[in-house]
Amino acid sequence: MVNKEKNQSILKMTLLGLVPLVVLGLVVYSFFLGGPTKIFQSDLPPVEDIHVLNHTLEKDLIFLNVINSGTDDVFIAQVMVRGAFWNHEVSPERNLSPLKTALVTIPFPWNIGEPIEIILLTSSGITFDYEIEVASITPQVSFAALGRFGMLGIYVGVIPVALGICWFPFLRRLKKTAMDFLIYVTVGLLAFLTIDAFLEGFEAAEALPGMFHGAALLILGFIGTYLILLGIGARVGEKHKDSSPGMTIAWIMALGIGFHNFGEGLAIGSAYVLGELSLGALLVIGFTLHNATEGIAIVAPILKEKVKLSGLCKLGLLAGVPTIFGCWIGAFTYSQIWAIFFLGVGAGALAQVIGAILGRRTRSNLLQPFNILGIIMGYLLMYGTGLLVGGS
């Protein structure tokens, strides 16, 4: 009898929880069918919006991957290239319902290095502009292409971080005052990377249609990663109370920098495909200097500890190798949505590391003029090397 009453109580609670969800689902479904909005359809003008997700170029062919990012159906009626109406095909169909994608194929004799201005016209006469700033053949996935972009990731990610870690034997011979200064320089480096990731993320989010909520996605990556790493750090600290927390911080720092470098690789690969990035020596030098400082940041928390060479290699690979994967994805399957998310993930990881470093320091230690100078110098060091990258 007791079990029967208990089962009935559970069933009653389940029904009470499900009924509001079912009603809510029916309401939302009625809106999708047109429901209450049909009353206003004759009074409101159509809201059309077409967004070009990406483009690819082949010899005498332009491909645009477009999406209907508005709330009403859109019919692609015409395409203009450099001010002239041009033959084209739209597949699977010209009429796009909300969130539906299509491929626009344009036979056009473009020239390498020249800009291409494209206008999409809807049946209602609304135009949507898209510009290919520098035309170049879109690379296809092949062993040769993977090798080229993989080497690019090694040049700008793996090698610079490894060079920074190579300073480990020299850095650990410094006195305590100099080591404290170096740790605060690290905080300045990470602060710049965190702010830089946020600014890049918000800039990319503005270019996305509002329906994707790019800023919210960026913040989700930031907060989610911060809380996850905070929980991991707490659990690791409980399980390894006798072990040094410095190595834990170093691992989390390498992970955060790895996420940041992954986003950097995405930008490099996609920019190269779009013809917006020079692959000259200045680019390699700029990224080498920029990312070498990240290697210093990784080893700073473990300067007083006994660390094996294999451990240093693993830290360097964790921070640098994601750049290779970023270059591959950016070159062949670039997604601005994923790029924004990973920028948020990188910023969250770096912010958690900053909190972990400062949490081990006293307030009086933080407010020492020499240490404050270290934070400023670390920030300016990243800013200066970032100018070299931007200038290339």
Which residues have CB under 8 Å from 353's CB, separation 6+? Answer: 190, 249, 252, 253, 256
What is the DSSP-derived secondary structure letter of residue 335? -
Q: How confident is the model at residue 61 (pLDDT cuts 50, 70, 90)?
A: very high
Residue 104, pLDDT score: 96
- Does 85 have pLDDT greater than 70? yes
Residue 278, pLDDT score: 46
Q: What is the pLDDT of residues 148-194, one digit of tens each?
A: 889 888 888 888 888 888 888 888 887 878 877 877 887 888 888 78
- Does 280 have pLDDT greater than 50? no
- Does 313 have pLDDT greater than 50? yes
Q: What is the pLDDT of residues 103-144, one digit of tens each?
A: 999 999 999 888 899 999 999 889 999 988 878 787 778 888
Taking the model in full, what pTM does it have? 0.66
* pLDDT > 70: percent of the chain: 81
Closest alpha carbon to 98 in 28, 45, 29, 32: 32
What is the mean predicted confidence (pLDDT) over 234-239?
A: 60
Distance from C-alpha of 155 to C-alpha of 287, rounded to nearest angstrom: 8
Q: What is the pLDDT of residues 323-365, one digit of tens each?
A: 899 888 877 776 778 778 878 887 887 788 788 777 767 777 7
Q: How confident is the model at residue 23 (pLDDT cuts 50, 70, 90)?
A: confident
Residue with tokens 């319902």: 97
Distance from C-alpha of 376 to C-alpha of 87, rounded to nearest angstrom: 57
Closest alpha carbon to 131 in 276, 267, 25, 231: 276
* Residue 356 burial (CB count, 10 A): 19
What is the DSSP-derived secondary structure letter of residue 83? T
CA–centroid distance for 301 within its chain: 26
* Residue 220 burial (CB count, 10 A): 16
What is the mean predicted confidence (pLDDT) over 84-93?
A: 94
> Between these two residues, 275 and 348, which has the higher pLDDT value?
348
Residue 390, pLDDT score: 55
With the CA atoms of 207, 102, 64 and 147 taken in that order, what torsion angle do they form, in degrees rounded to the nearest 10? 90
Distance from C-alpha of 392 to C-alpha of 268, rounded to nearest angstrom: 12
- Does 11 have pLDDT greater than 80? no
> Between these two residues, 28 and 358, which has the higher pLDDT value?
358
Residue with tokens 């305590």: 176
Distance from C-alpha of 348 to C-alpha of 283, rounded to nearest angstrom: 27
| Tokens, residue 276 | 């917006």
Average confidence score pLDDT of the chain: 79
Contact 330, 205 (CB under 8 A): no
Contact 357, 301 (CB under 8 A): yes
Q: How confident is the model at residue 1 (pLDDT cuts 50, 70, 90)?
A: low
Q: What is the pLDDT of residues 193-219, one digit of tens each?
A: 788 888 888 888 887 877 788 889 889
